[in-house]
Amino acid sequence: MEELTLRHGSGGLVIRGLGEPTAVLHPSASMRRGKIKTSAGTLPIEVNDPWRSGATLTGTGGRPILRLDPRASSLPDSRQPAQWQVRRGWGGYSATLSRGGDRIELRLPRLHGKGVQLQVTGRWGTQLELILLAACFALLARRRGDTFRAMAVVGATGHGH
C-alpha cells in the first residue's frame, strides 16, 4: 500500500510520493473546472453535476477519457468497471475508487487546505498519476460546492438578523 499526498508544487497541485511529478492539476477558483497539464498536453477536467459528485477528464476531440461518477465510472486504458464513492462526515471528506481488487482511498479535512491523503493498493498501470489528480479534483470540488451552498444559506437567512 502506497501513502501519497496532494500538495502545492510546480505552479499547481502535484502528487507527492510517486517520484518526480509528471502531471500538474490547475483547478479554477470555483473548482467547477480545471486543467491537468502533462508532458503530452493539457486536458480539461470539470465536475459532472451541480452536486459535484464526480468529475470528467476530456481528451482530444472532446471525448471523455476518465469519468468518476457514483452511477457509472470509467478509467483510461481499462475495460473493467470502476466504482466511485464520495462521503462527507464530521472529520471531513473521503472517497474510494475501486476496480476489481484495486483500490484508491482519499481523505480530505473538512476545513481549509488542499492536502489530500491517498492510499493506493493494487495495480493501476501507467495512468496512475492522472487518475489520482482527477480523483483529488473531484473530492476538492465536492468540498468547495458544499462550502458555497453553506454560504448561500447563511446569506439567504440574513445572518440571524
pLDDT on residue 148: 47
Give residue 69's identity as a one-letter amino acid code: D
Provide the residue-wise pLDDT of the chain in tens; the chain has 161 residues: 788 999 998 889 999 999 888 999 999 988 889 999 998 899 999 998 877 789 999 988 889 999 999 999 999 988 899 999 999 888 899 999 999 999 999 999 877 666 899 999 999 999 999 999 999 999 998 886 566 455 555 667 776 55
For residue 121, what are the contacts with CB-CB under 8 A and spacing of at least 6? Answer: 1, 2, 102, 103, 104
pLDDT on residue 134: 97
- In total, the chain counts a number of residues equal to 161
Q: pTM higher than 0.85 for the full model?
A: yes
pLDDT on residue 154: 66
- Distance between CA 159 and CA 105 in Å, rounded? 37
φ, ψ at 155 (rounded to 5°): -65, -40
Per-residue CA distances from 29 to 33, 53, 128, 141 (Å): 9, 18, 25, 10
pLDDT on residue 100: 93
Judge whether 35 and 133 are in contact, CB under 8 Å.
no
Per-residue CA distances from 153 to 50, 53, 57, 150, 159 (Å): 16, 20, 31, 5, 9
